[in-house]
Amino acid sequence: MLIAHLTDLHVRPFGRATNRVVETNLMVERAVRQVAGFAPAAVVITGDLTENGLPEEYAELRRLLEGRLACPVYVVPGNHDRRASLRSALGAWPGVRTDSAFVHYAADIGPLRLIMLDSVVPGAGHGELCSERLAFLERALDAAQDRPVLIGLHHPPFMTGIAAMDAIPLRAPEALLALIARHGRVLAVLCGHHHRVIMAQHGGAMLLAGAAIGGHQSELTFDPAARPYFYLEPGGYFLLRWDGSALTANLATIGDFAGPFPFAVDADYPGRTMA
């Protein structure tokens, strides 16, 4: 079973670029077309669906996604989103409800339980999980019982060493990490926010921060004085494969590349002949 994890789409009103140079809508369109070719069981999008949370941006998001994927699409907001606009535009999407202060919910993807968390602090770039959101997570984990679990939220629960991103982290992630370790069946925590593929682990769970779909990736620098800049590196997403006993995560890059070419080995190759 395949699950696609996308993040940081930063959709803009039709015809407008993000940060004046990034054609995010075009990249989202390409990504959706590519993802559809893998026929995943579900698509999980972990926030920053839009650049500014505007109604016209959510309308464009619907145009780019609806009817193009033959599977459920599960979303949570990021710090670039607005809950009210998201709910108004995407109220018919799985899990998006209006009877809760937060956009959080649980869903089943085959044998797996998906728990989507809302880490947004309105008016701020950082994230947090307040007592109400942590209580929801604890109930959802208890309800999952022995089922393997995926958790999705926007802000990663770890520091990266990239100063510009660590300035707007998920604050006080210890409570989340403690719940993950206590439950013991969390396979992976799917995140975004940092605009760069970064991996960590905790309590047996993979912690996966995905690349920005739009193709504007944060500068990779560990200079503590560095200012926030981005490069037009390729966008990408994770394809998660569950085989009934193990979860693997493959990074797929968005674009059209030369190939395929056979692995033509030399006569003096020391291994077995490759078919």
pLDDT, one tens digit for every residue, the chain (275 residues): 999 999 999 999 988 888 888 899 999 999 999 999 999 999 999 999 999 999 999 999 999 999 999 999 999 999 999 999 999 999 999 999 878 899 999 999 999 999 999 999 999 999 999 999 999 999 999 999 999 999 999 999 999 999 999 999 999 999 999 999 999 999 999 999 999 999 999 989 999 999 999 889 999 999 999 999 999 999 999 999 999 999 999 999 998 899 999 888 888 888 876 65
Q: Look at residue 71 in the predicted model and tell me its pLDDT.
A: 98
* The pLDDT of residue 14: 87
Q: Is the peptide bond before 260 cis (omega within 30 degrees of 0)?
A: yes
Domains and CATH numbers, the chain: 2-253 (3.60.21.10)
**Beta carbons of 206 and 21 less than 8 angstroms apart:** no
Give residue 275's pLDDT: 57
Residue 193 neighbours by CB under 8 Å, 6+ apart = 7, 8, 47, 48, 78, 79, 127, 154, 155, 156, 165, 168, 209
